[in-house]
Amino acid sequence: MVKVVSIATDINLKKLGKKILKNEPRIIKEYPAKTIDLKNDFDGQTGLGFKSLTSRSCHYNLLNWTGTRSLRKWIRHGYEKYNKLDGPVSVLSNGPLYVLCWANVMRKGEKILPHKHESNQGTPAHFHLSGHLNIQVDGSTSTYYEGTPILNECGMMTFFPGSTVHWTDEVVNDGERITVAFDIYNEEFYTYDVFDEYKYHWIEI
């Protein structure tokens, strides 16, 4: 069974949610629904389509926005908690981490289809860990990790291996379902896996 860890955060969800909705039209207009090399259409294999905010996830990093210090802190904390790197004997916890972070806005009738962020099933979690933060959810949807559901609750940040197949329930109520998703690489995997011309897109925490 895949290891999934959820933690409660104190991030200002209302402020971040408003900022995401305000920036959504600009990001959709400014960036194409393409892979970062602009060679292929892209929606993250989520099924949300090429008009979605998610389909622009390759072209901006939410951690570049002002007011994301707390988000960075909790992503780092969750990575260390998941990998048990916050003890005194750890050497990995002192190294830099690199994060790609984007927002998802889903509306009534939409859902995220099964997909994964890492194609290599054998990649260790301390090399590549994925996660998401529930910004605005109404308690009616779950996210499934290899078939195991976890109810979406506001303020909860969930971490799982990048190779984990995950998906969501369909949004059935009015109003937006807003989440922030991210991939975390340690320095070794970042150096190995990310082409030099795309390294600018990742944020060091």
| Domains, the chain | 5-204 (2.60.120.10)
Q: What is the pLDDT of residue 141?
A: 92
pLDDT confidence of 79, banded at 50, 70, 90? Answer: very high
**Mean residue pLDDT across the chain:** 94
Instruction: Tell me the three-class secondary structure of the chain, residue by residue.
Output: CCCCEEEECCCCHHHHHHHHHHHHHHHHHHCCCECCCCCCECCCCCCCCCCCCHHHCCCCCHHHCCCCHHHHHHHHHHHHHHHCCCCCCCCHHHCCEEEEEEEEEECCCCCCCCECCCCCCCCCCCCEEEEEEEEECCCCCEEEECCEEEECCCCEEEEEECCCCEEECCCCCCCCEEEEEEEEEEHHHHHHHCCHHHHHHCEEC
What is the SS3 assignment for 125?
coil
Q: What is the pLDDT of residue 92?
A: 54
What is the C-alpha separation between 142 and 168, in angstroms, rounded?
A: 6
0.85 cut: is pTM over it? Answer: yes
Counting every residue, how long is the chain?
Answer: 205
Q: What is the pLDDT of residue 95?
A: 86
Give the least confident one: 89-98, 154-163, 196-205. 89-98
71 DSSP assignment? H
Structure tokens belonging to residue 73: 């802190």
pLDDT confidence of 148, banded at 50, 70, 90? Answer: very high
Share of the chain above pLDDT 70, in %: 96
pLDDT confidence of 142, banded at 50, 70, 90? Answer: very high
**Cβ-contact 50, 33 below 8 angstroms:** yes
Q: What is the mean pLDDT of residues 13-32?
A: 98
Q: What is the pLDDT of residues 85-113, one digit of tens each?
A: 755 555 455 689 999 999 999 999 999 99
Q: Judge whether residue 18 has pLDDT over 60.
A: yes
Contacting residues for 60 by C-beta, under 8 A, at least 6 apart: 27, 31, 102
Q: Judge whether residue 160 has pLDDT over 50.
A: yes
Q: What is the pLDDT of residue 91?
A: 47
Q: What is the pLDDT of residue 88?
A: 53
Task: Say which residue, 13 or 92, is predicted with more confidence.
Answer: 13
